[in-house]
Chains A and B, each alone.
Chain A
């Protein structure tokens, strides 16, 4: 659907490899890390939400952060972007220490984020939402804002860039509408486009696909792959394993606040720790089959090879509770 804007994303996207040094294990060193976090710990009362010993995010690649609900993914996001303060720990972005740096400065350094619950600015127009994303605006300073000639030309340039981005995200027809009139999926697109207005180095997307229909998912995927092509680094949280497998170059798995596994998406998903903590044994099998409501034959799932139907039935009960819980939270 949006293949015209993303020509390189035909069948399979080009994966970036050779990102790490040595054995792929939690905390493995990267060849060129953009974020390095050490001993970052955040507790809420008695609960340790995040406890990461060492983590490096590779530059110029798409890294997925996965894990069960409550694993601390969003908390880690908030910590890395300055929206929350850890109990202890240090982390750097592009070589600059970020501990104690407020969120707006982190954003100015070129590390922008989106939110799990989309934050479109409802009573601003779509175009104003976009223009707000541009940094270093003269007209945003109090005194110079009073004198229009000082900022008018820059504002026109920003508007031009905003319209280009909106056209790319197929929102240009909506430019003059209030953002509140957009659908949920369009708001996700707007939020991503708005983040790009600042020409960031690192884009952090918190569940970009949640609540987005399949067709729009496809176009979002293209946009994320485009970011990499344009030299940006992407870190995203996602539950959709197909998407993770399809576009991620590197996967970090969290559970109970800790990084339990890291690696290439296909390798890491075979890791028994990941299967136990998050995926479950039947990630490729129809949910109806897993829960025992539909037989594998009915669901049209090929169960030949490693897993037979009996095994599925036997393990179904164990899976049921976890699956239902996950579904409910989504």
Chain B
């Protein structure tokens, strides 16, 4: 068992594009679920639309990378509107059902062989990196230290991810400390009360759904910038992982989703390395069983979190006192 290697892998996951992607998606979910109270169970669908929008517009229309990224974002905004206009009239739990179904529809549309030419169906899409990597200002070489040693391409993806994440965090923080955020939080508490005070609740909910959807799509795009796009990534369990990351950090906070995603991925990497290594010591588990165990542990962690610490790490302790 190589502990140093395990720790190094866990450390590297701090700056992995997957972590940044999760942080962005969790930030979007914080806007929708934590602040507005919209139970969106279709996070993976929004991410998929961002990622596919990015890849398809490069492969099909030869867009430069930045225009492709904007296309992915625009597609997610359109998806949010199409989903929101009928579904936001529903109460919380019904919205969850509609969004989970919508995300599955999206995933299956990308998976079906009917659109193989465009979506690559089960193989997914790859080979769209040229434009993004061509724009890389970093000279070729290897930089960094310890577990954070990457070549110019890996750094470019990470820097871009960090910039987008920083912009997202600042925007959400500005929004939530403004009167706009006050209305949004009011809607989470009681829609009718806010309506009786002369606020157009439907419009605010739609705005929150679009903002959250844009951040989720940005996460999907950052994820797609590193590797390939495959519908197998945007499954419902991805949505649950992002919920876990969000609740870990604190649903109604700005930095919670960020820290939650970091912790989530460090633990995931740690466990995925540690458990197979442990299985050599534990005779009742095969290596494959041991690597599945981490998903079981993730599920248990999500349950424990919701039951015992629903406000997360950063959430206001006082809030917990009043959870209904």
Q: Is the CB of B196 within 8 A of A124?
A: no
With a cutoff of 8 Å between Cβ atoms, the chain A residues found around residue B179 in the complex are 131, 137-140, 145, 151, 155
Q: Which residue of A lies closest to B193 (CB)?
A: A119
CA distance A194 to B318 in the complex (A): 23
The reply to whether A133 and B197 contact each other, CB–CB distance below 8 Å, is yes
The A/B interface has a contact count, at CB < 8 Å, of 109
In the bound complex, do residue A107 and residue B178 qualify as a contact, i.e. CB atoms below 8 Å apart? no
In the complex where A132-B182, A141-B180, A180-B322 touch, is A103 in contact with B195 (Cβ < 8 A)?
yes
Decide: B195 and A132 in contact? CB cutoff 8 A: no
| A227 nearest CB across to chain B (Å) | 16
Question: How many residues on chain A are close to B (CB under 8 Å)?
Answer: 43
Q: Collect the chain A residues with CB atoms within 8 Å of residue B200's CB.
A: 102, 104
Instruction: For the complex, give the distance between the alpha carbons of A275 and B198 in Å.
Output: 38
CB proximity of B322 to chain A, nearest CB, Å? 4
Contacts of B193 in A (CB 8 A): 115, 119-121, 191
Residues in B with CB closer than 8 Å to A326 are: none
- A115 to chain B minimum Cβ distance, whole angstroms, is 7
Using Cβ atoms and an 8 Å threshold, which residues of chain A touch B324? 122
Residues of B within 8 A of A139 (CB): 178-180
| A180 to B171 Cα, complex, angstroms | 29
B185 close to A (CB within 8 Å) = yes
Apart from A104-B195, A114-B196, A122-B322, 20 more pairs, CB < 8 Å: A102-B200, A113-B196, A119-B192, A119-B193, A121-B185, A121-B193, A123-B188, A123-B322, A124-B186, A132-B186, A132-B194, A132-B199, A135-B197, A137-B179, A139-B179, A140-B179, A140-B183, A142-B180, A145-B181, A195-B196
Q: List 19 A-B residue pairs with CB atoms under 8 Å apart, sorted by A's residue number.
A: A102-B200, A103-B192, A104-B201, A107-B195, A112-B198, A115-B196, A119-B193, A122-B324, A123-B322, A129-B186, A132-B194, A132-B199, A137-B179, A139-B179, A141-B180, A142-B207, A145-B180, A146-B171, A197-B197
Which 4 A-B pairs have CB atoms at the shortest separation, nearest pair first?
A: A139-B179, A145-B180, A107-B198, A119-B193
Q: Which residues of B contact A (CB under 8 A)?
A: 171, 174-175, 178-183, 185-186, 188-190, 192-201, 207, 252, 318-319, 321-322, 324
